[in-house]
Amino acid sequence: MDNWTVCPPNATVCEGDSCIVPESDFNAILSVVMSTVLTILLALVMFSMGCNVELHKFLGHLKRPWGIVVGFLCQFGIMPLTGFILSVAFGILPVQAVVVLIQGCCPGGTASNILAYWVDGDMDLSVSMTTCSTLLALGMMPLCLFIYTKMWVDSGTIVIPYDSIGTSLVALVIPVSIGMYVNHRWPQKAKIILKIGSIAGAILIVLIAVVGGILYQSAWIIEPKLWIIGTIYPIAGYGLGFFLARIAGQPWYRCRTVALETGLQNTQLCSTIVQLSFSPEDLNLVFTFPLIYSIFQIVFAAILLGAYVAYKKCHRKNNTELQEKTDNEVEPRSSFQETNKGFQLDEK
């Protein structure tokens, strides 16, 4: 008994000067519960977003996929290249550079559909772009990673979770398809569902960011260069996506849609790939980067949304004032009218 010391109540093995405290499974349980709840909520939100999609317009984008092609060039052209340039410019470690590139090669996330609604974007284009990019990611992700990561690591060591991509595709297509059917059969009810779902979607985006911060709060100590890259990367995605769409001759509301689809990447997929591809030692260096990107892509999207809402209100106010001024203007009366009051001009 002399070799035993007094240990805290939650210690199970205590000998000599050391006490071994069992690891808490709180995070594991919370992760499973929140993942299930968020998946269900996300499916419901995508169902509501589908209530704003018209089938003939959606099929029109697939038949004449100019907007989808622009989005494809942004997501699998601009984003991987930007990640490569940032990795080289900041001189980060090879494993860190690979994670930055994995993030850039991921398809668009469903958050882009929610925000496209709030900025009066083209919902039909947004949903079709998200669907097509998720489907094309099955081939484009390995290709882009092979091209850009071979100077740092053998791309064969990166595990592409095709099952997760397939699950994301199913979780997107089925709820949206049901929403499109509801919009076709009951358009008035679809409008009510859309309003509720858009508010729920905004809350869900914030909730995902908060949950990620709670679950992985111990991993926030990371190299400052990754913080800087995680800040610049989504801004570059929004800006380059917008300007490329504008150069391609797309109207403003579609430019906003393409910008959001480019900057808002599927960070959950990136986290899955990172966990499957790297050792625990490497994960300590890079695991937080998808979370950093996720937070800043939401922050800047919220700033862009606020700027757009302010612009819309200001523009509406100016138009109202101009209309009132025009309505209040009195047409000048000629001297002939003043002299001959019995004669009135025929307004017709």
Residue 319 falls within a domain, yes or no?
Answer: no
Cα–Cα–Cα angle for 130, 135, 138, nearest 5°? 130
Q: How many domains does the chain have?
A: 1
Q: Is residue 333 domain-resident?
A: no
The Cα–Cα gap between 215 and 200 comes to 22
Residue 50 counted as domain residue? yes
Residue 51 within a domain: yes
Identify the pLDDT of residue 12: 44
Give me the domain span that covers residue 209.
13-311
Local structure of 250: helix, strand or coil: coil
pLDDT recorded at residue 322: 56
168: domain CATH number is 1.20.1530.20
Q: Are 126 and 113 in contact (CB under 8 A)?
A: yes
- What's the pLDDT score for residue 320? 64
Strands 18-20 and 13-15: antiparallel
Residue 344 in domain? no
Q: Which residue has 């030692």 as its token pair? A: 281
Is residue 125, in this structure, part of any structural domain at all?
yes
Residue 68 maps to a domain:
yes
pLDDT score, position 4? 46
| pLDDT beneath 70: ranges in the chain | 1-35, 37-38, 154-156, 208-221, 317-348
295-320 per-position pLDDT tens digit: 888 889 989 989 998 988 887 766 66
